[in-house]
Structure 1
Amino acid sequence: MFARGETIVQYVEKLAPKHYAVPDDRIGLQVGSVRKEVKRVLVALDVNAEVAEEAAALGAELIVAHHAPIYRPLKHLQTDTPSGALMASLLRHDIAVYVAHTNLDTADGGMNDWMAEALGLEGRGVLEEVHTDKLFKLVVFVPQEHAEAVRAALFGAGAGWIGNYSDCSFNVEGTGTFLPREGAEPFIGKPGKRESVAEVRIETVVPDSVRKAVVRAMLKAHPYEEVAYDLYPMDLKGRTFGLGRVGALPEPESLDEFAERVKQALQVPFVRVVGRGDRPIRKVAVLGGSGSRYIGHARFAGADVLVTGDIDYHTAQDAEAMGLAIVDPGHNAEKIMKPKLAEWLQLRLREQGYETEVIASRIDTEPFRLK
């Protein structure tokens, strides 16, 4: 059994929900249709002519990419231009392209966490907040003998987290009353007769990001035909998601030693470095892609160095003046997402019994070389 494209997209959006993206980012389905069976998925950093050819040769019906092939508005679709020829190739081979960009950067366990893990950073936090989960209090009334099953369903769907504590709830025993009317099919009692039942009031915290899933799980586990429950918005902040990560090295090392660490960990042929080579480095900020405008965020977070791509001359001077070192591995360092996302997606599909194969692109889309 092969997964349909819509199912694969749902898994990607479970890791990287669309609302995690920064405003006006070009994400989502850009080319073709996902309303079809998919035997092979190609995970790519960029979508260019070579990647399209690779997908066609593999028989992939879907490309999941990090960078959008349609980023600037298309004024025409002339097939004798590079962009037009690319679109024509994708459509000719019926290859859909789905993009997860800043939502994958922001996601917990996504791009910036993969880069931070590769660098060995500990005690990681967010560099710039993009999204904070709203919190709700869910209250549901359950017959005593079914309370544990409903609690397990709530916790399994993501409810009950307070900081680093899971399965948090408050439970009060009491008596529930109801009178089933004509046409009702009550789990307990008979129509026309008022019933009194020993029940448990279960209270738990629910993040907005999993609210619908939690309610569905609760309703499925609850024995009643009509479930009595309430959802109250809370004036408390939930988990914060954002761009970049800030963490610490296990032990301090010199900037030159750290630059070599970056080169090896992110598998890039060279890095550009701003700062004295013997400068001690302990606290590190990392942001995949183009991070020129985040040097102030990194300095404010107390980072000794910022690892990011596309640093220009004047930004490098500004960073040096404010005492922030920089290691620039280039934008293409984000290629770390290819094997990571392919592995994550393949595991989820296998868990559900799908035979769909997920392949990391082998095409190197780095446009620069040293001479």
Structure 2
Amino acid sequence: MKQIQLTNRDIFKEMEALAPTYLAYDWDNVGLQVGAYNKPVSKIMITLDVLENVVDEAIEKHVDLIIAHHPLLFKPLRQLNMDTPSGKIMQKLVNHGITVYASHTNLDAAIGGVNDQLADAIGLTSSRVLVDEQSKSLVKLAVYVPISHIDQVREAISKAGAGHIGNYSHCTFHSHGQGTFKPLEGTNPFIGNTNQLEKVEEAKLETIVEEHKLSSVLEQMIDAHPYEEAAYDIYSLGNKGETMGLGRVGHLEEKMVLRDFVEKVKSAFQMENVRVTGNLDKKVKTIAILGGSGEKYIHQAKLKGADVYITGDMTFHIAQDAWQIGLAVIDSGHYAEKIMKDAVKNYLNDRFKDMGIEVITSTTNTDPFQFM
């Protein structure tokens, strides 16, 4: 069987299923950074940053596509000077035909994204969003299907993302009734004859769909439906889906003293050193965590009951403020977000299993800090 040649567009589509671009902050620049949508791809490298040494690694390993957490391009380019570090990076990428795609604040906020990965790594339970940004908009889809094809259509729309409620999939409801239609001249009906009124036993299949998945669900529904013209309705819903946003707040299975919890964090994030504020002998249980730079959210962490707030890039006076309100802080640095490399690799390997795509993680260290 001939294998389908995948392109960057196919990879981007799966990345945006994990981390929809609408979740990105308006100041962010996510998606395609350098390259082309329709370029064939067979080898992908996941990295936290796109520095020149990372690009050199990609060239050496014959990588077609780099997927990064931190965007290569944050601001519009006014010039492309090949004497600058950024200019050299762009020149190497273009000369070697390497595409770069970034999934940043959208991957931070996404369910299953960076902050969930960090929370899972330290064993948090019952975690919820720290900084609420938005809830997924939901719609109700109702499609009318002949009884013989209801299972086929249900499976198609469920695989496309319809009918997911919490940890359950394939959530639908169907009721039976009679559909009528008259095929007119020029039609090629699945059931019935031209210019004759047909009465067919049908089912009304209803389900819930996240609005951003609707176009994909409809595409798969129409493809699986036997009728030349599928009849369906879409209803806007007032109820909201899962809340999306930055950071997570959860609980340890058992209380532990801060000193021991710090060691747990260091082990989970593979770090030799972290900065800490607070009483090291105090017992803690409720933990807030936000990857990257999260110092401005200390009050959200405190309001949501956190004993400890884990984040990066904490400045002196903000650390003092947290200390004064009784919130211990573990500054794990920005580089803790490297946890996304293995997670994205595993996600893509699962999506493109046996399809000729090799996914690797960058082994290049892009943390600028050394501890002496």
- What TM-score does the superposition give when structure 2 sets the normalisation length? 0.95
Q: Name structure 1 gaps, 5 residues minimum.
A: none
CA 1:156/1:30 → structure 2, altered by over 3 Å: closer, same or farther? closer
Which residue of structure 2 lines up, in the alignment, with residue 354 of structure 1?
355
**Matched residue, 2:106:** 103
Which residue identity is paired with 2:366? T
Q: Unpaired segments of 5 or more residues in structure 2?
A: none
Residues 167/7 of structure 1: CA separation in 2 closer, same or farther (3 Å cut):
closer
- Distance in 1 between residues matched to 2:224 and 2:124, nearest whole Å: 40
Query: Which residue is 2:179 aligned to?
Result: 176
Instruction: Say if 2:368 is the partner of 1:367.
Output: yes
> What are the residue-to-residue correspondences of 1:334-349 with 2, within 5 Å?
334-349=337-352
The alignment partner of 1:231 has SS state of: strand
Compute the TM-score of the two structures, normalised by the length of structure 1: 0.95
1:1-371 equivalent positions in 2, closer than 5 A? 1=3, 2-350=5-353, 353-371=354-372
In structure 1, what is the Cα distance between the partners aligned to 2:196 and 2:164? 40
Aligned-pair distance for 1:165?
A: 4.6
Give the whole-Å Cα distance in 2 for the aligned partners of 1:119 and 1:186: 58
Q: CA deviation at 1:163?
A: 4.3
| CA gap 1:60/1:34 in 2 versus in 1, 3 angstroms | farther
Q: Does the 8 A contact of 1:22 with 1:130 survive in 2?
A: no
Distance 1:92 1:156 in 2: 39
- 1:3-26 Cα offsets, whole Å, 9 max, x none, are 322212222112111111111211
CA distance in 2, matches of 1:197, 1:5: 44
- Count of matched residue positions in the alignment of Structure 1 and Structure 2: 369
- SS of the residue 1:267 aligns to: coil
Distance between the aligned counterparts of 1:349 and 1:152, measured in 2? Answer: 20
1:71 is paired with a residue whose SS is coil
Distance apart, 1:148 and its partner CA = 2.8
- Further displaced range: 72-81 or 103-112: 72-81
SS in 2 for 1:234: strand
How much does 1:305 deviate? 0.9
- Alignment-mate amino acid for residue 362 of structure 1: T
Could you report, residue by residue, the CA deviation over 1:176-212 in whole angstroms, capped at 9, with x for unpaired residues?
1111111111111100111111122222222213212
- SS state of the match for residue 38, structure 2? coil
Residues 34 and 204 (structure 1), Cα distance of their counterparts in 2 relative to 1, 3 Å cut:
closer
Q: For residue 364 of structure 2, what is the amino acid of its counterpart? A: I
Q: How far is the alpha carbon of 1:129 from its aligned partner?
A: 2.2
1:161 shift after superposition: 3.4
With over 3 angstroms needed to count, the CA separation of the structure-2 counterparts of 1:161 and 1:90, relative to structure 1, is closer
- Find the aligned partners of 1:43 and 1:349 in 2 and give their Cα distance: 15
